[in-house]
Structures are given as C-alpha cells and as structure tokens.
C-alpha cells in the first residue's frame, strides 16, 4: 500500500504533519500537567504516545478498556477514569497510577471494594449527565477519606457549553459552570480541579488541568469555533454510483459519527447518509471509481467505528495504527 489510492475504502486517513501541528499548538497553549488529554477522542495508544512525547504524560480515559490498554502500552504514569464505574476490579491490577471519578456513595463503595486508592469527586456543573450536586461534594469527599481513599480534588465537565459558537457566550457560561466547581472544591480540597474540553481549553482559568481530546484530530463541529487546530483526519471513500443529480460513495452511518449532523466533503453537498452509503450532489461531476475525502462531524464515535487509521505524508502511506482501545 504505497499511496492512499491503493487503500480499500472506506478508510480513515491521518495526516502525520497536521497531527504534529495540532499537538505542538496545544503543548504551547497548555504545557505539561495543564493538559490531561482525553483518549476517548481517538482510542489509539500510538497517538497517545505522540501526545506524551509532546509533553502530556497524564491522561483521561472513559472506559476500563482504555485504562487497560494505556497501562499495557506503558502510558500509565497518571490515568484518570473520568467516568463512574461500579465494577472496578480490573483497575486495581493495572501497572499504573489509577484515579477514578465518584459521584455517589455507591460509586465510592465500588472504588473501595475494587481496591482503587485515589478518587476525584465528579460534580454536576450543568451538563445533565454524571456528577453530584456541588452541595454534596464535601460530604462525599469526607466519607471517601474515612474509607482510606486519597481524594485528589474535583472534576466537572461543561459539555453543554464547549460547542457554543459565540465566544463571549461560551466564556460567560463556562465561568458560571466553573464557579460551581470552585465552590465544590472549597469543600472537597485536594490539588486537582479537572475540567474543560477542546471547546473551552483557552477560557477556563479555574481548572488546574483541561481534559481536551478532539484537538488532536478535529472535526467539523469544533472547526467552527476558530481554534488554532486543523483537520488532521478524514474518511477516504470511493464513488460507487452516479446519477444525473447526485452521486453515492461507499461509507455511511457505520463509518461516521452522525450525532453532530452530516459530514462534509469538498466534492459537493452531502444530502444524507445511510448504513453503507453517502449520497451527495457532486461539484463538479464525478465518475464511478473516483475517490473523495469526507470530514466527520464528530471525531470520537467516528474513530470508534474503525479498527485502524492509515498515517500518511502527503499521499504516501507511512504507517498503520490500530485503534486498540475500542470496546469496554
């Protein structure tokens, strides 16, 4: 497979130079422990190794599987499972520093019974997902310490804010969410205030570390925010059918994260995606057999659909990285 034109489709393509550009930009903005990259965005230990080489050795994970692969890859210096889990038995056996998020007595008890020694108290800062109320964070931290755990601090994710297009509005609402986290931290204590994402990485002065992940590869949703990160990955498809008004390429719902809407392509206007097809109005006309680049709207689920990503320099394929943190 000498070039991208030799690859099967659909294939995920990663531009090595653009990846390094993104990693360098983030390392400049948030050096060292100011960033805790979230590997859920790419689920690839080889890519995580590049993030480590850029100066970011502490990582966030979303699943036990991600924690296991990171530890096995020698990337377990400081792993945070930024998610609530009730079965923690696999975590205690890892050759890594393991911290787990807790937001209830039940998740605290699970950490104790599974042998986890360090926790962060997860606080609800406005996203209706996990997290205890700010008012309950101190009580939970006190109980954790009585159980013999080290409480490193707090975390909270303003995921309902990271995609707001208007920067002033994004900053204002981020500040409101972080005031909730700051108030909880005053009751909890500890050195860590962990929060944020790619959308708010540069407007969150309260957090001691930012949990950004999508910045490394990017997608159309984050591209609209004007951050200094570029699109480093795309889906490579083949046109398989052409009609008078539209064309069809060979990748759809089963190869693209669609929860943020349709993907985009310079080849034309996307009409819709079905299981294995992308229907679009080509500009200009295309022929059966032509290849097109398609940019996913949401990078995280897109990567999770694929077993590997092909690394390229220009059009030359120089490597193939397994997406080895898929599954749970």
64: phi then psi, degrees, rounded to nearest 5: -65, -40
Per-residue pLDDT at 1 exceeds 70:
no
Model pLDDT for residues 202-214, shown as the tens digit of each residue: 999 999 999 999 9
Model pLDDT for residues 178-206, shown as the tens digit of each residue: 999 999 999 999 999 999 999 999 999 99
Instruction: Out of 3.30.1600.10, 1.10.150.120, 3.20.20.10, 3.90.550.10, select the CATH number for domain 16-213.
Output: 3.20.20.10
pLDDT in the model for residue 250? 98
Per-residue pLDDT at 7 exceeds 90:
yes
Which pTM value belongs to this model?
A: 0.96
- The structural domains of the chain, with segments of one domain joined by +, span 4-12+229-322, 16-213
Mean pLDDT for 162-175 is 96
Topology at the third CATH level for domain 4-12+229-322: Lyase, Ornithine Decarboxylase; Chain A, domain 1 (2.40.37)
pLDDT in the model for residue 168? 96
Per-residue pLDDT at 161 exceeds 70:
yes
Could you tell me the pLDDT band of residue 48, with boundaries at 50, 70 and 90?
very high
Could you tell me the pLDDT band of residue 273, with boundaries at 50, 70 and 90?
very high
Share of the chain above pLDDT 90, in %: 98
Per the prediction, the chain carries an average pLDDT of 97
- Of 191, 148, 137, 155, the closest CA to residue 83 belongs to 155
pLDDT in the model for residue 183? 97
Start-to-end Cα distance in the chain: 31
pLDDT in the model for residue 171? 96
Could you tell me the pLDDT band of residue 68, with boundaries at 50, 70 and 90?
very high
Per-residue pLDDT at 108 exceeds 80:
yes
What DSSP state is assigned to residue 314? T
235: phi then psi, degrees, rounded to nearest 5: -100, 130
Per-residue pLDDT at 151 exceeds 90:
yes
Where does residue 310 rank: exposed (0-12), middle (13-18), buried (19+ CB within 10 A)? buried
Same fold: 4-12+229-322 with 16-213: no
CB 173 within 8 A of CB 138: no
Cross-sheet strand order for the sheet of 192-195 = 58-61, 78-81, 98-102, 118-122, 150-156, 192-195, 209-210
pLDDT in the model for residue 6? 96
Model pLDDT for residues 246-257, shown as the tens digit of each residue: 999 999 999 999
């Amino acid at each position: 497979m000498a070039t991208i034109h030799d690859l099967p489709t659909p294939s995920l393509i990663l531009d090595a130079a653009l990846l390094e550009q993104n990693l360098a930009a983030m390392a400049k903005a948030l050096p060292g422990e100011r960033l805790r990259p979230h590997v859920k965005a790419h689920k690839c230990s080889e890519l995580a190794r590049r993030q480590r080489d850029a100066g970011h050795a502490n990582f966030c994970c979303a699943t036990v599987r991600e924690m296991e692969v990171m530890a096995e890859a020698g990337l377990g210096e400081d792993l945070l499972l930024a998610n609530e889990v009730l079965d923690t038995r696999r975590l205690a056996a890892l050759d890594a520093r393991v911290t787990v998020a807790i937001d209830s007595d039940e998740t605290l008890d699970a950490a104790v019974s599974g042998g986890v020694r360090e926790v962060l108290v997860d606080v609800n800062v406005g996203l209706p997902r996990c997290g205890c109320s700010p008012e309950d964070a101190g009580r939970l931290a006190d109980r954790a310490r009585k159980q013999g755990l080290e409480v490193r601090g707090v975390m909270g994710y303003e995921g309902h804010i990271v995609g707001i297009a208007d920067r002033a509005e994004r900053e204002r609402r981020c500040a409101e969410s972080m005031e909730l986290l700051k108030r909880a931290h005053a009751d909890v204590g500890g050195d860590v205030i962990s929060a944020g994402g790619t959308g708010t990485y540069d407007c969150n002065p309260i957090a001691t570390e930012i949990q950004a992940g999508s910045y490394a590869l990017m997608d159309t949703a984050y591209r609209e925010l004007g951050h200094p990160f570029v699109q480093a990955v795309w889906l490579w498809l083949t046109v398989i059918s052409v009609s008078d008004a539209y064309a069809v390429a060979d990748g759809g719902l089963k190869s693209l994260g669609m929860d943020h809407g349709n993907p985009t392509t310079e080849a034309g206007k996307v009409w819709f995606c079905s299981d294995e097809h992308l229907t679009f109005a080509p500009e200009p006309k295309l022929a059966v057999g032509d290849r097109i680049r398609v940019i996913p709207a949401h990078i995280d689920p897109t990567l999770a659909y694929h077993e590997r990503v092909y690394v390229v320099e220009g059009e030359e394929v120089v490597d193939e990285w397994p997406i080895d943190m898929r599954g749970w």
